[in-house]
Copies of this chain bind each other. A is one copy, B any other.
Amino acid sequence: MLEKSTINRVKSLNNKKYRQSEQLFVAEGSKIILELLGSKIQIEQVFATQDWAAKYENRIKANKLVIVTQKELERMSGLKSIPDVLMLAKIPIQKFNASLLSNSLTIALDTIQDPGNLGTIIRTADWFGIKNIVCSQSCADVYNNKTIQASMGSFARVNIFYEDLKTLFSENKFQIFGAVLNGKNISEIKPPQNGILLIGNEGNGISTELIPFITQNISIPKYGEAESLNAAVATSIICAHFIMK
């Protein structure tokens, strides 16, 4: 039987403060965990039901695997539908260097606060082969359970950095495409080979302090009545336009 302290430790990682002090995060569900087993992510511990372990234990070092009951998983899980496997893993150390961004398209997120939106954007970036996402410090945390679920394992393949965007844009000369409501129609923009696609907050758009760094305002043309698009949808449509041939 699992000790209560173990369950509490897993649950405490729903809180960003504890994730940062322990440098650990939680992933849940067979699909994501099987993806992570083949990735660069370092596993700390896998908690699985007997049934799950019977199928996949050959893919995990024996000393990392703990067999638990469905009931114990229910007590550890942050999800509505209880998974048959849950993993503790190390937060990878990502060293940022602005030169990483010079030869390809990068997404910069300014205060994207919804963890589901952040996860969906990471998944889209991974689909389109975008390697780097730079988040403002005010964005949702990539190791939030909801972000991880929405990103579906893609968070392990895309580099996600948290930087002060104003400093980054002040100290470097980038081509910056800012997604705004009255910019140039993306159909009229030649897809760039490199540069930054800057996406603003769900409700308030791009921060005033970042506006002066935009070298090209861009917009998705509107044909109907909606006031705006979901931030992850807008990012995805622009990425599709910039990447697809």
Contacts and interface: CB of A to CB of B under 8 A. Distances in A.
B187 A229 contact: no
A126 B233 contact: no
A1 interface: no
A224 B120 contact: no
A86 to B, nearest CB: 19
Interface residues of A, number: 39
A229 B123 contact: yes
A76 interface: no
Nearest to A203: B31
A126 B225 CA distance: 6
Contacts of A16: none
A167 to B, nearest CB: 28
Interface stretch (A40-48, A205-213, A235-243): A235-243
Interface stretch (A17-25, A51-59, A60-68, A127-135): A127-135
Interface string A136-169: 0000000000000010111001000000000000
B240 A240 contact: yes
Nearest to A116: B116
A244 interface: yes
Contact of A157 (B125, B186, B224, B229): B224
Interface in A211-239: 220-230, 232-233, 236-237
B224 A127 contact: yes
Interface in A173-228: 185-187, 220-228
Contacts of A127: 220, 222-226, 228-229
Contact of A220 (B130, B233, B240): B240
B187 A224 contact: no
Given A237-B237, A245-B187, A226 B154 contact: yes
A233 B120 contact: yes
Interface of A: 35, 116, 120, 123-130, 150, 152-154, 157, 185-187, 220-230, 232-233, 236-237, 240-241, 243-245
